[in-house]
Structure 1
Amino acid sequence: MFFLSRRTVSRHRSLYAGSFVALAVGVFLLGLAATATAATIAYDAPPGSTIAVHLPGGDGVDPHTVQISPTGEDASGLQVVLSMVGTICGFITIFVIASTFAFAVASRRREIGLLRLVGATPRQIRRMILGEALVVALAASFTGALLAQLATPLLLAKASYSELAPVKLEPASPWVPLAIAMGIGLIVAMLGARSAARRAGKIGAVDALREAALEPPRIGPVRVVFGGLVLAGSIVLLALIQPGTGEGVIPLAMFTPMLLVIALTLLAPLVVPAVGRLLAVPLVAWTNVSGRLAKSNVVAAPRRTASLAAPILAISAIAGSMVLTLSFAADASVATIRETLFAPVVVTDTGAAENLGERVLGTSGVSAVDGAIPLTVIRTSSDSADLEDAEGIDPAVAPRARRLEVLSGDLGALSAGNTVAISKELAGYEGYRVGSEIPVTFLDGRAARLKVVAIVRTAAEVNASMLVSQDLARAHAPKAQPVRWFVLPEPGVDHHTLLDALNNIPGARAVPAATWEAEQGQGVRDGNKLGLLLLLGPAALYSAIAIVNTLLMGSLQRGREFVTSRLLGATPAQIRRMVLWESTLVGAVALTLGTVITVTVGALIRNAMTDGLNQVPVTVPWITLLGIAVICLVLAAGSALAPTAFILRHSHPSAAAE
């Protein structure tokens, strides 16, 4: 049977070439993320660049010591990004490969029916199809893993000494990560073929010929049940996107569209005809015959349409949701900075100043200066150690220069002793309350337990997650100096005059608060662009290949249909127009569903991020979103028209009688 499977794959090279390319690219991306992650895990910091932190253990964990890089010079940031990239690529791979294999098998329904007619049993049909999937999967997985191994040094060289990995990364042993990537490729291929094989095995010897031209009008109850369950899970995730979610909004913005895409794909035979009919109304009115034929092809074959629309739906929903989420996150950051900062003037150190804080405070017209001392602490628990940003503040001045809304406790209780005020977000994640003690290790190697005296509203762009007294900060970081000062002028002092006086201080750069806020907001947007490129770049490339692959497969299998249409009197131009409108309509259906997902998730994300903020700007990256839609439509139309032109050029109407 395996021999027959190999011969079948060889015979249907054009049909399985797309599946091979899609799976090979998927394994390549997964393998690249896996080998790069292995390199970050294997990274060892240079001797003397880490601090030994003792973890007391508990709850079944033995006491032990871990090494922490105090400057954050490790590859943890790259690990997080790669894990998200792997998740997105893995989802796209599973989704697209299952769809392409199902489409490849469905397009051979007539052939499978003839095999049943000559005596093949359902079990033999299933074994043959699974064997074909195994042949393609082995070749594609090996190719993808080999390409990943060759590309890993290039990726690590590019990632080294970057913002995500400010260290030199070297390739680690590739065997385990590549084996995992190949295993995922094999499993995905077999699962995708298994579902299609089971359906093919149910085709009867007589019904096969009839179903080759028309799909069954109903979908199975198993598909409906699973689609309903996934949709219910999606609704639960949507309900979790609420104010106070904090940093959990980003994972929700990534995983919720994935579940919604799966649900809509499973229920596509119910959803696609309705959306297709609605979108085809203006098309039919404008084009008449070609548009009506395109509508009939899309509506009459919802499973085929769902397979063709799957990659477009996946990338448009996921990419659109992530683009909106990061844009709204930047809007929320700008609004948070504006509402948090009270001081009208901000002074930063250009690197050439001495005793800048004292000179700023001594400038005529300055009433007070809020210059926080930056401090990094290692917060420990029974089994983990995490770097936290802290700062030493003057409790009498800081609340006047910036918003430090106390939700519980007393900020004035900060003293030179081991006391700390923490953000609402940190308190919520770790379960801290006023009176709790937080075990920490300072970068000078000394350990302490900081008592929580206040919990303040989160404002990460202006306030650190942990606030201590300036005396405590100087005791553990005597050489640390503020990097920016929030300046409060005396009553009646002209701000422009004060800015001129402050800018005359060597090494000082004084700007209005609005200018500083805009610079911080732009920095957030620039960082989001980099993250978006890293997260969606590989997935977008793979989805583009999947779109081309799926549409090519669909068009190449319609040679007999096109020739028959020629025999009935249709001209090549009419057939090309029909294919153009059909591919455009398929893309429009997928983009419509993707837009619904994007708008729903985006609206909930914005509501969660902007809760409690006033006058939040609305920045919708229309160019990026429209670019995604246009590229998907162009790829869909081009991938359908190219093989159609080839078939029409090399076929003759007399071939319909063969």
Structure 2
Amino acid sequence: MFYLSRQTVSRHRSLYAGSFVALAVGVFLLGLAATATAATIAYHGPAAAKIVVTTLGGDDAAPRQVSVPMSDADVSGLQTVLSLVGVICGFITIFVIASTFAFAVASRRRELGLLRLLGATPGQIRRMVLGEALVVALAASLTGAVMAQLATPLLLRKASYTELAPVRLEPASPWVPLSIAVGAGLLVAMLGARSAARRAGRVGPIDALREAALEPPRIGPVRVVFGLLFMGGAIVMLTLIRPSTGEGVVPLAMFTPMVMVIALTLLAPLVVPWISRLWALPLVAWTRVSGRLARSNVVAAPRRSASLAAPILSISAIAGSMVLSLSFAADSAAATIRDTLRAPVVVTEAADLSRVPGVGTVDAGLPLQLVRISRDDAQLEDAEGIDPAIATRTRDLTPLSGDLDHLTGNTVAISKEMSSLEHYRVGGEMSVTFLDKTAAKLKIVAIVPDALGVNPSLLIPIDLARKHAPTAKPDHLFVLPADGLDPASLVSTIDHAVPAADWEAEQADGVRKGNQFGLILLLGPAALYSAIAIANTLLMGSLQRRHEFVTSRLLGATPAQIRRMVLWESSLVGAVALTLGTAITVTVGILIRHAMTSGVADVPVTVPWAVLLGIAGICLGLAVGSALAPTTYILRRSQPSAAVE
């Protein structure tokens, strides 16, 4: 049977070329993420750049020594991004492979029916299709792994000495990560082909001969049940995107669209015809014949249309949701910085303002780092030493619980985010080790609102900061002018002084740029892969319609009419996929904005229309171009007489 599968793949090279390219690129991206992650794990900075502490232990965890890298040797940010890239690429790969194999099987219904007529059993058909998937997967996975190994040094050079990896990274041993990537490719291919193989096994000899060019009118109940289950799970996840979820809204905003895409892909043969009919109403009224034919082709072949729409739906929903989420996160951060900072003047460099006339109050917090120790782990945290009497005048530090007047001695005030994530409460203790290797237990005296850019997660007494970080200097000074003095005159008097509004805008712009950088790292590979997948799928769809096109020529259709029909048909498929992707994006966007901006007044709304419209335009352009190009080629190389061959 495996020999027959190899022969079948060889005979249908053009049909499986799309699956090969899609899987090879998927394994390439997965392998690249795996080898780069291996390089970050294998990285060992200089001994001076690490601090060794002992965890607390307790319950089932025994105390253990942990080596914590300092900020200049921390590559955990790159590890996190690479993990997310692997998850997103793996997710898209599964759907692309599933849709391409489903399309390949649907295109061979006549051939499969003839095999059944010659005596092949459903089990033999299933094994043959799975064997074909294995042949393609082996070749594609090995090709992708070789490409990943060749590209890894370039990726590491680009990633070194950046914000995510401020060190030089060198390639590690590739065998384990590439083996994982190859194994993932084989697994994804077999999972994607499993449904197609089962569908192929259900092709009957008589039905195949009678319906060789027509798909079954219904989809199986198992697919409907799983589609509804995933949709129910997505609805539950949507209900969890609320203010009380805290930082959990960010991963929810990323994974909820994936679950919704799974549900809509499973239910697509039911959903696509209805949305296609709605989009086709103005199209039919405008174009009449070509638009009507395009609508009929999309509606009459819902499985094929769903397979063509799957990659567009996945990337538009995931990319759109992440773009909106990061944009709204930046809006929320900007509003929080604005509401937290009370001082009208900010000095961006450390300076002695004690003798400057007109200066009223100067908030000169001391930034430092310390290691926060938990039961089974230890993490480097940013902290700031403050004078509560001064800081509460220049910033909004109204405690959510506790009292900042008690911030003296070995005490700490923590942010709401850290309290929620680590389950700290007022009156509890936090075990820390300062970078001078002094261990201490800090009593938690207050929980203050989050204010990224103004306050770090940990606030300690300024005397404690001076004791353990004697060389620390303020990054900036928050200044209150003397009574009756115009802040503008103070800005012109002090070097490196700027109005608070300008400083707030700069901080918000930094957050937005950081989000954009993360978005490029997360979605760049996935977007490239999706573009290839969209082109692949549409190319496969058009190349397999040669007989249909030449038959239409035999019936009197001109090449221009057929091209117009394909144009409207691919546009309809793209419009349906983008409609579903837009619905997911808008739903997640509305909920994520409400969750992030709850309790913050006058939050600006920044919708990156150019990026969102660019995603939609590229997807639609790829869909149309990838369908028209092979159609034009077929029409030029084929004559109407080929319909009787």
TM-score normalised by the chain length of structure 2: 0.99
Q: 1:414, 1:279 → 2: CA distance?
A: 63
Counterpart residue number, 1:128: 128
Q: Deviations over 1:25-72 (max 9, x none)?
A: 000000000000011111111122211111132222222211112335
Counterpart residue number, 1:163: 163
Q: Greater shift after overlay, 25-34 or 92-101? A: 92-101
Counterpart code for 1:554 = G
Q: 2:155, 2:139 → 1: CA distance?
A: 24
Q: Deviations over 1:450-491 (max 9, x none)?
A: 001111111122111111110000011011011101001112
Cα 1:536/1:161, change in 2 over 3 Å: same
Counterpart residue number, 1:506: none
Q: 2:453, 2:552 → 1: CA distance?
A: 64
RMSD: 1.0
1:23 aligns to 2:10 (yes or no)? no
Counterpart residue number, 1:498: 490
- The SS at the match of 1:361 is coil
Contact 1:317 1:598 in 2 (8 A): yes
How far 1:332 moved relative to its partner?
0.7
Q: 1:581, 1:10 → 2: CA distance?
A: 33
1:365 aligns to 2:378 (yes or no)? no
Q: Of residues 433, 453, 461 in structure 1, which corresponds to 2:453? A: 461
Q: 1:45, 1:74 → 2: CA distance?
A: 9
Counterpart code for 1:181 = A
Counterpart residue number, 1:527: 514
Contact 1:410 1:454 in 2 (8 A): yes
Structure 1 unmatched ranges of 5 or more: 504-508
Q: 1:440, 1:3 → 2: CA distance?
A: 64
The 5-angstrom pairing of residues 182-197 of structure 1 reads 182-197=182-197
Counterpart code for 1:519 = E
Q: 2:492, 2:585 → 1: CA distance?
A: 47
Q: 1:430, 1:127 → 2: CA distance?
A: 51
Q: Deviations over 1:492-534 (max 9, x none)?
A: 102222112112xxxxx10000000010011111111110110
Q: 2:614, 2:203 → 1: CA distance?
A: 42
Q: 2:151, 2:530 → 1: CA distance?
A: 20
Q: Of residues 420, 423, 432 in structure 2, which corresponds to 1:440? A: 432
Contact 1:423 1:457 in 2 (8 A): yes
Counterpart residue number, 2:556: 569
Q: 1:212, 1:346 → 2: CA distance?
A: 74
Q: Deviations over 1:231-281 (max 9, x none)?
A: 011111111110133332221111111111110010011111111100110
Counterpart residue number, 1:388: 381
Q: 2:384, 2:211 → 1: CA distance?
A: 70
Q: 1:328, 1:270 → 2: CA distance?
A: 33
Counterpart code for 1:610 = T
Structure 2 unmatched ranges of 5 or more: none
Q: 1:460, 1:436 → 2: CA distance?
A: 24
Q: 2:137, 2:212 → 1: CA distance?
A: 26
Counterpart residue number, 2:547: 560
Contact 1:378 1:385 in 2 (8 A): yes
Aligned-residue identity in percent:
74
Contact 2:413 2:458 in 1 (8 A): yes
- The SS at the match of 1:22 is helix
Q: 1:246, 1:375 → 2: CA distance?
A: 26
Q: Deviations over 1:300-351 (max 9, x none)?
A: 11111000000000010000011111111111111011111100000011xx
The 5-angstrom pairing of residues 57-456 of structure 1 reads 57-349=57-349, 356=351, 359-415=352-408, 417-456=409-448
Q: Greater shift after overlay, 530-539 or 40-49? A: 40-49
Contact 2:49 2:72 in 1 (8 A): no
Contact 2:334 2:504 in 1 (8 A): yes
Counterpart residue number, 2:33: 33
Matched residue pairs, number? Answer: 645
Q: 1:335, 1:362 → 2: CA distance?
A: 33
- The SS at the match of 1:421 is strand
Counterpart residue number, 1:481: 473
Q: 2:199, 2:492 → 1: CA distance?
A: 78
Counterpart residue number, 1:539: 526
Counterpart code for 1:361 = S
Q: 1:237, 1:72 → 2: CA distance?
A: 37
Counterpart residue number, 1:2: 2
Contact 2:243 2:596 in 1 (8 A): yes
Contact 1:361 1:368 in 2 (8 A): no
How far 1:365 moved relative to its partner?
1.0
Q: Of residues 620, 626, 641 in structure 1, which corresponds to 2:628? A: 641
Counterpart code for 2:375 = S
Contact 2:372 2:379 in 1 (8 A): yes
Q: 1:211, 1:57 → 2: CA distance?
A: 66
Q: 1:565, 1:156 → 2: CA distance?
A: 53
Q: Deviations over 1:104-127 (max 9, x none)?
A: 111101100001111111111111
Q: 1:460, 1:652 → 2: CA distance?
A: 67
Q: 2:240, 2:355 → 1: CA distance?
A: 51
Contact 2:400 2:448 in 1 (8 A): yes
The 5-angstrom pairing of residues 611-626 of structure 1 reads 611-626=598-613
Q: 1:577, 1:441 → 2: CA distance?
A: 70
Q: 1:533, 1:155 → 2: CA distance?
A: 14
How far 1:73 moved relative to its partner?
1.9
Contact 2:246 2:420 in 1 (8 A): no
Contact 1:343 1:401 in 2 (8 A): yes
Q: 1:494, 1:430 → 2: CA distance?
A: 43
How far 1:563 moved relative to its partner?
1.1
Q: 2:208, 2:549 → 1: CA distance?
A: 21
Q: 1:466, 1:98 → 2: CA distance?
A: 48
Q: 2:603, 2:2 → 1: CA distance?
A: 62
Q: Deviations over 1:386-440 (max 9, x none)?
A: 111110111101011011021111101011x111111111111111111000010
Contact 1:336 1:461 in 2 (8 A): no
How far 1:611 moved relative to its partner?
0.6
Counterpart code for 2:366 = I
Q: 1:406, 1:38 → 2: CA distance?
A: 43
Q: Deviations over 1:71-118 (max 9, x none)?
A: 352210100000011110010111111111111111101100001111
Counterpart residue number, 1:45: 45
Contact 2:54 2:63 in 1 (8 A): yes
Counterpart residue number, 2:574: 587
TM-score normalised by the chain length of structure 1: 0.97
Counterpart code for 1:607 = H
Counterpart code for 1:455 = I
Q: 2:604, 2:461 → 1: CA distance?
A: 35
Contact 1:377 1:442 in 2 (8 A): yes
Q: 2:306, 2:518 → 1: CA distance?
A: 30
Moved over 4 A (4+): none
